[in-house]
Copies of this chain bind each other. A is one copy, B any other.
Amino acid sequence: MLCPFLNKGRFNVPNFSFSYSTHHDIPPKVLELYKGIKMRDRYHLAKSITLVESIRKDHKIQSQQLLSLILDAQHENTKETGNFTSTFRIGLSGPPGVGKSTFIERFGMHILSQGHRVAVLAVDPSSVKTGGSILGDKTRMPELSRQDDAYVRPSASHGTLGGVARNTNEAMILCEAAGHDVCLVETVGVGQSETMVAEMVDMFVLMVPPAGGDEIQGLKKGIVEISDLIIVNKSDGIFANAAREAMTEYTSALKYLHPRTSFWSPQVIKVSAKTNSGLVEAWELMQDYYNIMKSSGELFKKRGEQRKLWMWRQITSELLDRLGSDKEIKNLVDKLEQKVFNGEMTSGVAADYVVDTFTHKYSITETN
């Protein structure tokens, strides 16, 4: 079935006149959320994020309507001002226990003091698997949560990691529409969450403990490589020397890696969330990155490529979801998987069989 929202005349294939200018068929509930977000109302922002997280069909339609209203307004604004974006999306990852929440609390307060409005979102793979969450507990950032210009949102505790990622992408759009010009997306450096977060933000920051090389047990392979900035935390008291050594080690490790963009070489910086040292410098470095990326046009390109990437991710996961939600095909896949694992059937033959059955099934369903 075609997505119901898309049948309502806003999208006309093949002419593609994406006209959002007449909103008279948008339900009052959605218009109210939209107006609330524009008014920077915290309650409406929270309700809107809950809406995009919902898996109910009618909620999905409503959240698409809401997002379209927002993107349309942004697009109009860009056409007027020529300024495609004035928001900054920062990913922050690091092993559990490294001190991310204390850092975000202090760092967020510093950014607020500079006149920005901050949103903190969390992507937590543990919440997907267990329903419990390492991150996203509001009480971890008691001071920041209380500020008018800050919005702290815990990680959604249901759905697949892909679903959580989609929700986070859309929650960012909502937060930005509500005037939060700096979005921090926090994740623990395990599983695939950090790669996913790196692919939805402008800058990816890795926080590490004051220990180097093989001592860092909680650190995932490849995470150093995708980092634009490495922050060595707890650089105070008895850890001061260790932090200095860690900084040297990471700096030399970065030598082996090619920078992700020719406009920026990844940096290493020491901070202490406890004594507040290094916070100002960290924010300055991040702003340097943002300004370079924006003025060079890299930021525009990066966001566009990220959106395209996510579109393909979502097409793929949606297709596989539909395949897996068919019980008969799921049984088939399970049995073929075992055959393939045992080497009794090639991967290619099994794949052909699954896809053929899926396509076949979905074309005969209609004729019955």
| A→B interface (CB under 8 Å) | 1-3, 5-6, 11, 13-14, 16, 18, 60, 64, 67-68, 71-72, 74-75, 78, 84, 166, 169-170, 173, 213-214, 216, 219-222, 224-225, 249, 253, 255-258, 303-305, 307-308, 310-316, 318-320, 322-323, 328, 331-332, 335-337, 339-360, 362-367
Interface centre among A3, A322, A332, A351 (most CB of B within 10 A): A351
In the bound complex, residues from chain B placing their C-beta under 8 Å from that of A355 are: 315, 318-319, 322
- Give chain B nearest CB distance to A13 CB in angstroms: 6
In the bound complex, residues from chain B placing their C-beta under 8 Å from that of A255 are: 213-214
In Å, the complex CA distance between A1 and B355 comes to: 9
**A307 and B343 contact, Cβ closer than 8 Å, known pairs A348-B166, A355-B319:** yes
Q: Are A344 and B75 touching (Cβ within 8 A)?
A: yes
- Give chain B nearest CB distance to A364 CB in angstroms: 7
Partner among B75, B256, B367 whose Cβ is within 8 Å of the Cβ of A214: B256
Q: Are A318 and B351 touching (Cβ within 8 A)?
A: yes
- Give chain B nearest CB distance to A181 CB in angstroms: 16
In the bound complex, residues from chain B placing their C-beta under 8 Å from that of A166 are: 347-348
Closest-by-CB residue of B relative to A335 is B16
Partner among B221, B314, B360 whose Cβ is within 8 Å of the Cβ of A257: B221
Closest-by-CB residue of B relative to A250 is B256
Q: Are B343 and A75 touching (Cβ within 8 A)?
A: yes
- Give chain B nearest CB distance to A305 CB in angstroms: 8
In Å, the complex CA distance between A166 and B353 comes to: 15
- Give chain B nearest CB distance to A17 CB in angstroms: 11
Partner among B305, B320, B364 whose Cβ is within 8 Å of the Cβ of A366: B364
Q: Are B345 and A18 touching (Cβ within 8 A)?
A: yes
Q: Are B322 and A308 touching (Cβ within 8 A)?
A: no
Per CB-CB distance, the 3 closest pairs between chain A and chain B, nearest first, are A314-B351, A310-B347, A304-B341
- Give chain B nearest CB distance to A281 CB in angstroms: 25
Partner among B16, B71, B320 whose Cβ is within 8 Å of the Cβ of A315: B320
Q: Are A344 and B18 touching (Cβ within 8 A)?
A: yes
In Å, the complex CA distance between A319 and B358 comes to: 10
Q: Are B170 and A346 touching (Cβ within 8 A)?
A: yes
Q: Are B74 and A343 touching (Cβ within 8 A)?
A: yes
- Give chain B nearest CB distance to A185 CB in angstroms: 16
In Å, the complex CA distance between A194 and B290 comes to: 32
Interface centre among A71, A214, A349, A360 (most CB of B within 10 A): A349
In the bound complex, residues from chain B placing their C-beta under 8 Å from that of A367 are: 366-367
Q: Are B214 and A225 touching (Cβ within 8 A)?
A: no
Closest-by-CB residue of B relative to A70 is B346
Sample of 14 more A-B contacts, CB < 8 Å, known A3-B353, A314-B347 = A1-B359, A2-B360, A3-B349, A75-B342, A214-B255, A304-B340, A307-B346, A311-B350, A311-B351, A313-B347, A315-B354, A315-B355, A319-B319, A322-B359
